[in-house]
């Protein structure tokens, strides 16, 4: 279902090589997205957790292009708020979160296509322990890849993948954590004003 929506959106906005993306030094990015995640058993984590999230993000492109040709890009710092977290696999927990440390490497755009890699860290507060028998106050971290497809005026579709981690940071005797594959889709707006 999500893949069909992504394909339809990509076809709708097109990928004209003549169009330029607004990913430039000093640009400000606002985005809203939602994601679905499924926990995996990896590095002593609990598998099978399933949850949905929404993300509101603000970012600022801080550099001109840097790096070798294959990795050339611009650095962006971002702050992300998670106004909705909903887990339904075990405790049906609800929660909110914040990721004040978001770093994106915006690879050189290809027409309207602007790929990026990201890492981030923050906190999550939930109504029930995540995973079960731990705590409802956790640290989060993620690493991922994404693609923006821009249209006119700096608006665009953004799709991404994250390896998402939830952990109590060894504050308890037990710290199994949750590692999950997460797919996200949303809208972004990037501009210099």
| Domain residue extents for the chain | 2-14+26-191
Which of 15-29, 73-87, 97-111 has the weakest average pLDDT?
A: 15-29
Mean pLDDT of all residues belonging to the chain: 86
User: Sorting pLDDT into bands at 50, 70 and 90, what band is 63?
Assistant: very high
Q: What is the arithmetic mean of pLDDT over 16-38?
A: 83
Q: What is the arithmetic mean of pLDDT over 39-45?
A: 76
pLDDT at residue 107 tops 80 = yes
Computed over its alpha carbons, how large is the radius of gyration of the chain? 17
CATH fit for domain 2-14+26-191, picks 3.40.50.300, 2.40.160.20, 1.10.10.10, 3.20.10.10: 2.40.160.20
Report in angstroms the alpha-carbon separations of 175 from 38, 64, 95, 103. Answer: 19, 41, 19, 26
Strand residues in the chain grouped as ranges (E): 28-40, 50-61, 73-87, 94-107, 113-126, 137-150, 155-167, 178-191
pLDDT at residue 100 tops 80 = yes
User: Sorting pLDDT into bands at 50, 70 and 90, what band is 193?
Assistant: low
């Amino acid at each position: 279902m999500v893949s069909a929506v992504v394909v339809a959106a990509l076809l709708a906005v097109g990928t004209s090589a003549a169009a330029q993306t607004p990913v430039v030094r000093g640009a400000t990015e606002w985005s809203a997205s939602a994601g679905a995640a499924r926990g995996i058993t990896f590095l002593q984590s609990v598998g099978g957790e399933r949850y949905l999230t929404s993300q509101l993000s603000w970012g600022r492109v801080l550099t001109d292009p840097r790096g070798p040709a294959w990795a050339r890009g611009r650095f962006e710092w971002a702050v992300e708020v998670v106004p909705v977290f909903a887990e339904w696999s075990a405790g049906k927990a609800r929660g909110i979160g914040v990721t004040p440390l978001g770093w994106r490497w915006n690879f050189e755009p290809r027409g309207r296509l602007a790929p990026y890699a990201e890492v981030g860290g923050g906190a999550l507060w939930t109504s029930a322990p995540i995973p079960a028998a731990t705590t409802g106050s956790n640290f989060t971290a993620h690493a991922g890849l994404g693609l923006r497809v821009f249209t006119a005026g700096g608006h665009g579709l953004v799709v991404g993948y994250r390896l998402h981690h939830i952990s109590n940071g060894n504050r308890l005797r037990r710290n199994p954590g949750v590692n999950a594959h997460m797919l996200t889709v949303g809208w972004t707006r990037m501009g210099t004003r």
